[in-house]
């Protein structure tokens, strides 16, 4: 039987989130500390734990069939690699940062300056598109220290919370693009393994939908049901179940978590009481 080979980051937050989404998909992973490879016991899947920067080339060469990797890495090293699914975690930005004392007015202020980065292709493409010339210094490791030691005038690096920039007396001035974890696919994947990947992607989609949604239940006077259902931002009609108390029903539906707080006051004004909001483990359409 064919086995899908998938690469994930060897360590760090992306590693943890990648393992978690696979487990949420019902996949049991037999892995221990410092393992470079692990197999699933209940799904035809083999996981390779790789250095993050190596993953795009492994995909291109067909060593792995798929990978959970940051979109920023594909922009830098794997533009030809197909993204099958955006995963919604490990979100960050690839940004330009300068010392806080730098009086920044526009991107033209960077023309001719020294830029330190671990993303040379991204930087060259970005500044070329703006018709700006920069002196690129490619370094690995702690890019943020470059301006403090006189190596560069500015940096381009990943920004999550911005705390690392703050600690190094830097400020973000331009966002090149926003990134998140994605499910990427090798251009050489076989038909058999593509079929397995499709099954995995179906599970991932079910998990992602559940993460974005909540199950909501509320008690509503029967005379107000029509008004309440008009307020609820759902695609299909909610479930209405008569309660033991005469004249009342339980209204139940799935709602986008981001929209709940926008309508909660309207629901209460429409007579809804005892509103419960519950997490959803899986959501299959």
Residues in the chain predicted with pLDDT less than 50, given as ranges, are none
pLDDT at 33: 65
| 35 contact partners, CB below 8 Å, separation of at least 6 | 49
Give the domain 213-279 fold.
Alpha-Beta Plaits (3.30.70)
- The pTM assigned to this predicted structure is 0.86
Report the sign of the C-alpha dihedral through residues 85, 88, 89, 94, in that order: positive
Domain boundaries 4-90+180-189, CATH class: alpha beta
| 176 contact partners, CB below 8 Å, separation of at least 6 | 93, 94, 95, 96, 122, 123, 126, 156
pLDDT at 111: 95
Q: Which two tokens stand for residue 115?
A: 């830029």
Where does the chain hold its CATH 3.40.190.10 domain(s)?
Answer: 4-90+180-189, 92-179
DSSP strands (E only) in the chain:
4-9, 29-30, 37-40, 45-50, 66-70, 82-86, 92-99, 114-117, 135-138, 154-159, 170-179, 181-185, 213-221, 239-242, 248-256, 273-279
| Pairwise CA distance, residues 236 & 240, whole Å | 12
Nearest to 17 by CA among 98, 76, 87: 87
- Secondary structure element (H or E) that encloses residue 78, with its range: none
Domain boundaries 92-179, CATH class: alpha beta
The answer to whether the beta carbons of residues 56 and 69 sit under 8 Å apart is yes
Apex CA 144: angle with CA 120 and CA 172, to 5°?
85
- Please give the distance of CA 236 from its chain centroid, rounded to a whole number: 27
Cβ atoms within 10 Å, residue 61: 11
Cβ atoms within 10 Å, residue 224: 17
Where does the chain hold its CATH 3.30.70.120 domain(s)?
Answer: 213-279
């Amino acid at each position: 039987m064919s086995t899908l080979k998938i690469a994930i980051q060897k360590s760090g937050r992306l590693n943890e989130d990648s393992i978690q989404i696979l487990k949420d998909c019902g996949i049991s992973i037999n892995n221990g500390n410092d393992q470079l490879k692990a197999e699933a016991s209940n799904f035809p899947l083999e996981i390779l734990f790789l250095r993050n920067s190596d993953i795009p080339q492994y995909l291109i060469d067909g060593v792995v069939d798929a990978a959970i990797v940051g979109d920023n890495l594909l922009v830098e090293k794997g533009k030809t690699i197909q993204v099958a699914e955006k995963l919604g975690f490990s979100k960050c930005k690839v940004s330009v940062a300068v010392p806080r004392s730098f009086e920044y007015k526009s991107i033209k202020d960077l023309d001719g300056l020294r830029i330190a980065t671990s993303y040379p292709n991204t930087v060259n493409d970005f500044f070329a598109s703006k018709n700006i010339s920069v002196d690129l210094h490619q370094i690995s490791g702690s890019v943020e220290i470059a301006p403090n030691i006189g190596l560069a005038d500015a940096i381009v690096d990943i920004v999550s919370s911005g705390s690392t920039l703050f600690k190094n007396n830097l400020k973000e001035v331009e966002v090149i693009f926003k990134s998140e974890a994605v499910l990427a696919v090798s251009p050489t994947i076989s038909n058999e393994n593509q079929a397995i990947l499709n099954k995995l992607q179906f599970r991932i989609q079910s998990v992602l939908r559940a993460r974005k949604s909540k199950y909501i239940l509320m008690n509503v006077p029967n005379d107000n049901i029509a008004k309440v259902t008009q307020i609820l931002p759902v695609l299909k009609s909610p479930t209405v179940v008569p309660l033991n108390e005469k004249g009342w029903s339980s209204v139940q539906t799935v709602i986008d978590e981001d929209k709940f707080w926008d309508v909660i006051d309207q629901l209460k004004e429409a007579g809804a009481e005892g509103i419960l909001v519950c997490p959803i483990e899986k959501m299959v359409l």
